[in-house]
């Protein structure tokens, strides 16, 4: 899989296809390049990167095992549910066509605890995951095509969020401690079209490490950084909206509609750490 991922960028033909796909994506969204909704260069680079990673994943679903770039596996109903979704289900909040699935709320309602009744907890978790999968399949249609089911359940997991993290990796921030929220919302629109929102937020951490190219005006972005003390009010959030459509021949097309991030790192006294705070959306100033 690692070598196949490298071939996307080393092989001239594959690189050319990826470049053409990025251009088509930008042509579909002229509002990003001009007018009041235009993005600055950094934000535009991030949304183009996210679209590229999404298209690599979608193409991967149709490749023979020996040519795949991803190590995602599938099981569940018909063998088309991403295993990472099944693993993530109890740690995330899902909304499917308006119905919320939050395992922590269900556990609180049953009074179950991992410490006191591991067997009951496992039963509740399996039942929760089964209901979530049924809701996703119902949202995608009575008999969703296998490629659509694989594409959507992959995006509704840490595999999908990993693409968001890769696209928004400047600067790369590693937090020490704290909490994390993971939220996915899937909605059916017109026939053959679905919208998926992915959201992650990290907060309540006391230290962080910031990686990036060293700049004189941004002393925290060094090649060999060390942990920096943070206020507990610091946070990072990233949000992405993707539209999925059924394509010709049973294929699936994906369109990144929005990619937004907010990074607020505060020192112990509540002041902003220099050079690493980013505004939501990063629109061009007028």
pLDDT tens track for 32-64: 998 888 999 999 999 999 999 999 999 999 988
pLDDT at 174 over 60: yes
pLDDT band at 214 (very low <50, low <70, confident <90, very high): very low
DSSP code string of 247-280: -GGG-EEEEEEEEEEEEE-B-TTSPBPTT--B-S
Q: Taking a C-beta distance cutoff of 8 angstroms, is the pair 108, 83 a contact?
A: no
Q: In Å, how far from its chain's centre is CA 187? A: 16
3-class DSSP state of 192: coil
How many residues are present in the chain? 286
Q: What is the DSSP string of 169-184?
A: -SSEEEEES-EEEEEE
Share of the chain above pLDDT 90, in %: 54
Residue 140 confidence (pLDDT):
95
Q: Which two tokens stand for residue 7?
A: 């071939």
The predicted structure's pLDDT at residue 70: 85
Sheet holding 207-211, edge to edge: 172-176, 207-211, 228-229
For residue 231, the Cα-to-chain-centroid distance in whole angstroms is 26
Integer Cα distance of 228 and 206 in angstroms:
8
Q: What pLDDT was estimated at residue 223?
A: 57
């Amino acid at each position: 899989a690692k070598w196949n991922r490298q071939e996307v960028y080393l092989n001239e033909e594959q690189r050319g296809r990826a470049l053409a796909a990025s251009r088509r994506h930008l042509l579909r969204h002229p509002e990003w390049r001009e007018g009041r909704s235009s993005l600055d260069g950094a934000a535009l680079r991030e949304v183009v990167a996210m679209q590229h990673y999404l298209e690599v994943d979608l193409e991967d679903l149709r490749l023979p095992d020996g040519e795949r770039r991803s190590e995602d596996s599938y099981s569940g109903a018909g063998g088309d549910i991403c295993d990472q979704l099944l693993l993530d289900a109890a740690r995330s909040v899902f909304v499917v066509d308006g119905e919320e699935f939050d395992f922590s709320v269900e556990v609180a309602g049953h009074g179950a605890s991992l410490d006191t009744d591991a067997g009951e907890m496992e039963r509740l978790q399996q039942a929760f995951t089964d209901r979530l999968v049924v809701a996703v399949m119902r949202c995608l249609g009575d008999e969703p095509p296998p490629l659509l089911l694989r594409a959507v359940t992959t995006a509704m997991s840490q595999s999908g969020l990993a693409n968001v993290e890769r696209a928004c990796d400047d600067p790369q921030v590693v937090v020490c401690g704290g909490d994390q929220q993971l939220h996915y919302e899937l909605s059916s629109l017109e026939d053959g079209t679905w919208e998926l929102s992915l959201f992650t937020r990290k907060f309540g951490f006391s230290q962080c490490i910031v990686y990036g190219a060293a700049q004189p005006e941004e002393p925290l972005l060094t090649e060999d950084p060390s942990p920096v003390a943070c206020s507990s009010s610091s946070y990072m959030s990233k949000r992405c909206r993707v539209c999925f459509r059924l394509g010709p021949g049973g294929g699936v097309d994906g369109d990144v509609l929005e990619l937004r991030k907010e990074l607020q790192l505060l020192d112990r006294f509540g002041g902003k750490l220099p050079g690493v705070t980013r505004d939501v959306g990063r629109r061009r100033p007028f």
